[in-house]
Amino acid sequence: MQDLSRISVVLPSLDPDEKLITVVDGLLEYGFTDIILVNDGSKPENLHYFSDLARQHPQIHLLHHEVNKGKGAALKNAFRWFLENRPDGFGVVTVDGDNQHHPEDTRACCEHMLQTHHCVLGCRDFSLEHVPARSRFGNRITSLVFKVFCGMTISDTQTGLRAIPRDALKILVNVAGDRFEYETNMLLAFKTNGIPFDEVKIRTVYIEENKSSHFRVIRDSWRIYKLILAHFFRYTASSLISALVDTGLFSLFSWLFRSVLQGFALTAVSVVGARAISSLLNFFMNKQLVFRSQASTGRALVRYYCLALPQMAAQMLLTQGVYILFRVGDHAGFARTVLYVIVMTILYFTSYMIQQRWVFAPQKSK
């Protein structure tokens, strides 16, 4: 087993009970020697748990919030304290205070982090029979949304057991969010900043069907999903602007060259001209505003056109092929434009996936 003396446990807590004592005792038993315990504005009748633990265990450093600021604020406060006061610390591990993280699993995540220098997510198995239905359904939906809209495969998006190296903390401490949405923003920051992360399987523990959780289903779910879907909505806005420019230019070029070109030649010239202009607009909007990518502009531009050129060829072939099949006499020009828009829509989702996962993907930190 590895030495955990350079790992600080970050333990945020709101209105704790006896389970907090069990959590602390378990961590100390399994070799953790530095615990940053955060009271996030608990009620007066619950404050004795913090003072008693701090008095009994010199391994505990206690941070106080006079009022409840949220789990995200508690985590960031502890991260800042660690960075400022533990100059030799390797990293932290975040643990929930409801005794649903076994200290052996916490240690396993830390040992994996020490070996790989990666962030580590302690992930539960939601297929087990004892998992509450709302937790199983919620995690499956959120995992699917992360995969489809963010290009991230995460089996447990809501885990509070996370081991984080010092270098990643310097980035994550500046991530937005003060409540449960902060943990979602942390995951999105992994993608944006190229922070490598691994998963470690942990025990799936639910005490009283997770009744002690302070997660507010509607309000906190909205905070989380709007963060994930905002990524896609920005892409949609960028695509619509680019599509309007592209379609307008396509119609213009089709009208300008209709007397000298016909059939495939007219389609090809119109598509190439429209795409040359609209694609550059789309590239810079996607890089700066949508994916907020820190990837090299040159590398991303090459990859973008490795995608755009085959896509443009597919648009030409499909547009012309469908046009030939459904040609409508005097309304041929209008029909060509409508079919062009339909083809672009079909290819839209494929392009989103590839741009997200490859074109604008940041280089992973070593």
Whole domain around residue 273: which residue ranges?
Answer: 229-359
d(CA 49, CA 16): 7
Residue that is last in its domain, among 181, 211, 241: 211
Q: Is 11 helix (H, G, I), strand (E, B) or coil?
A: strand
* Residues 154 and 25 placed together within one structural domain of the fold: yes
**What pLDDT does residue 206 have?**
72
* Residues 178 and 254 placed together within one structural domain of the fold: no
**What pLDDT does residue 319 have?**
63
Residue that is last in its domain, among 155, 184, 211: 211
* Residues 92 and 199 placed together within one structural domain of the fold: yes
DSSP string computed for 279-319: HHHHHHHIIIIIS---S-HHHHHHHHHHHHHHHHHHHHHHH
* Residues 107 and 61 placed together within one structural domain of the fold: yes
* Residues 174 and 239 placed together within one structural domain of the fold: no
The answer to whether residue 1 is domain-embedded is no
* Residues 27 and 102 placed together within one structural domain of the fold: yes
**What pLDDT does residue 333 have?**
61
* Residues 207 and 236 placed together within one structural domain of the fold: no
The answer to whether residue 347 is domain-embedded is yes
The answer to whether residue 239 is domain-embedded is yes
* Residues 151 and 108 placed together within one structural domain of the fold: yes
CB 95 within 8 A of CB 10: yes
C-alpha torsion 270→274→275→281, nearest 10: 180
The answer to whether residue 73 is domain-embedded is yes
* Residues 190 and 283 placed together within one structural domain of the fold: no
CB 30 within 8 A of CB 103: yes
Q: Is the dihedral of CA 103, 105, 108, 112 positive or negative?
A: negative
* Residues 169 and 87 placed together within one structural domain of the fold: yes
Q: Look at the chain and report how many structural domains it folds into.
A: 2
Going by C-alpha positions, the residue among 66, 72, 15, 42 that lies closest to residue 223 is 72
* Residues 235 and 186 placed together within one structural domain of the fold: no
Residue that is last in its domain, among 176, 211, 246: 211
Taking only the tens place, the pLDDT of each residue in 191-205 is 888 899 999 999 988
The answer to whether residue 219 is domain-embedded is no
Q: Which residues of the chain have pLDDT under 70?
A: 1, 207-224, 315-316, 318-336, 339-340, 363-366
* Residues 146 and 259 placed together within one structural domain of the fold: no
Angle among Cα 30, 35, 39 to the nearest 5 degrees reads: 130
Going by C-alpha positions, the residue among 202, 172, 174 that lies closest to residue 187 is 172
